[in-house]
Amino acid sequence: MQEMYSKGLIPISSVKQVRALGENKFEVVTSVRTFVFRAEKEGERQDWLEVLQSALSSQFHISQQPRKNNTNKSGFVELRGLKGKVFLSLMGTCFRLCKTDQDFNAGLAISVVDLTAACVKQVERRGFEVTTPFKSFCFTAESEHEREEWIEVVQESIVETLCNYEVLEKVWFNKSNRKCADCHATEPEWASINLCVVICKNCAGQHRFLGSGISKVRSMKLDSSIWSNELIELFLEVGNQRSNSFWVANLPPVEELCSQPSSEQRASFIRQKYKKRKYKKVLEGLNTQEELNKALCAAVVLPNVLQTMALVFSGADVMCATGDPEQSTPYLLAQRAGQRLQMEFLYHNKLSDFPKLEGVCDSSFATDAPSFMDGFLYCSVNAAKATLDRKARAAVLLFKRFSLAPIVLLGTSGKGPVVETWMFSLEERARTEPSIKLGSWWQSTGIWSTCSAIGACFLSQFLSSSLSQIPRDN
């Protein structure tokens, strides 16, 4: 066969009956159509009939129902090079081309195309092109919106072909890892490999905002190369339930994340939980950095990883001096003691940046404020009379990073068709002008009027307290 793809498929699942006819012919009966074939010789016809009958009976044992329900998307599209429309359906990591939707329902197809190593792109008009290593298919959707949807689902299917479920299945073997450690969503496919928690896609997005010094987020389906046997074992040993026995030991029920949280609620909870460590278990009798480090050195040579986690997340220094001239770090102590899981945990936390005991006071201001905020604001020159005119709406994104960069403002203000974009970093200005005044800076950059509504409308306690200190003299 020259073509990689067939011109017609009759899945055994759609075949109802196979019958011998005269003149070396036989017929294959499906619910919508009967196909008549003719063999060259009588013996050959008999071979065909036997093979088809046995395929039919084994199919009957496997399943009496054709697989229909796992379609990601289906609908009519035009296919370049073919007259009329075809019925395209995307199922798992394959798409199926059928002449009509009846054919699709009966399981008949022109072709089934595997999306492994394929790519999809938008082309002119309402078109999209799916390119596989063997052939390109150029489709035209019924509308722009349909085209967008097709591209999105095909993209998802292509990603799915890259996925590896081995890690996921192993890590889920610990039952508590089958629910997100933060929002309890089922079948979480992401993990924070240093915090030892399995999390859902949405929570993973919020973990990224914490920075890799707090949470190192990895996919269990896509980043399979980093999942060593030791890391998987660590996740099986610890698991979400035991991790949470530390992270949310003191979580008041009212502060628990609800089942369908908004992204603000999710962001806030995750920040409180891991960055501020608001709900963590309090370790008794460890009041100084030295005591914490000493306890860490003692813990890493024993099998209890949870104890090591509690110490590190409470501020014990993973790179502290052990006092041993040969095993100078906790990692080397664990190695000598043959504690593989301790080594794995310490390895993923060697660059972690949990506030140390002495540093807690100076960082409290920074950790109180949100690290990321965004929203649309209505602008008005007169702050007391904020307009609700959509044209005067400005988008303001406010970032606040830990230590060095106090504020970055990024946004656009729409004035009719003209949109101006601005982005300022206070950090850059503070470097060159140490005694910078916020008020004059905002005025000189001409965005004071845009921002004057912020104090009235915006929510952050931090922001409103900062704004109240800005003199308004225009």
Give the tokens for residue 446: 């001409």
Instruction: Identify which of residues 195 and 203 has a Cβ nearer to Zn ion in the complex.
Output: 203
Distance CA 362, CA 364 (A): 6
Size of the residue set binding Zn ion (CB under 5 A):
6
State the nearest-atom distance from the C-beta of 272 to Zn ion, in Å.
Answer: 15
State the pairing for strand pair 119-122/111-114.
Answer: unpaired
> Using CB atoms within 10 A of its CB, is residue 122 exposed (0-12), middle (13-18) or buried (19+)?
middle
State the nearest-atom distance from the C-beta of 115 to Zn ion, in Å.
Answer: 28
Instruction: Identify which of residues 250 and 265 has a Cβ nearer to Zn ion in the complex.
Output: 265
* Rounded alpha-carbon distances, angstroms, from residue 179 to 174, 242, 281, 352: 10, 13, 21, 25
Distance CA 105, CA 254 (A): 49
State the nearest-atom distance from the C-beta of 273 to Zn ion, in Å.
Answer: 11
Distance CA 134, CA 246 (A): 53
Site string for Zn ion, 198-227 (x = CB under 5 A): --x--x------------------------
State the nearest-atom distance from the C-beta of 261 to Zn ion, in Å.
Answer: 8
Distance CA 473, CA 97 (A): 69
Residues 135-194 close enough to bind Zn ion by CB under 5 A: 180, 182-183, 185
CA dihedral 260, 262, 265, 266 (to 10 degrees): 70
Instruction: Identify which of residues 180 and 295 has a Cβ nearer to Zn ion in the complex.
Output: 180
Distance CA 103, CA 106 (A): 5
State the nearest-atom distance from the C-beta of 243 to Zn ion, in Å.
Answer: 14
Instruction: Identify which of residues 186 and 469 has a Cβ nearer to Zn ion in the complex.
Output: 186
State the nearest-atom distance from the C-beta of 211 to Zn ion, in Å.
Answer: 19
Instruction: Identify which of residues 183 and 451 has a Cβ nearer to Zn ion in the complex.
Output: 183
Instruction: Identify which of residues 248 and 454 has a Cβ nearer to Zn ion in the complex.
Output: 248
Distance CA 29, CA 428 (A): 76
State the nearest-atom distance from the C-beta of 455 to Zn ion, in Å.
Answer: 33
Residues 242-301 close enough to bind Zn ion by CB under 5 A: none
Instruction: Identify which of residues 130 and 180 has a Cβ nearer to Zn ion in the complex.
Output: 180
Distance CA 238, CA 68 (A): 40
Q: List contacts with Zn ion (CB under 5 A).
A: 180, 182-183, 185, 200, 203
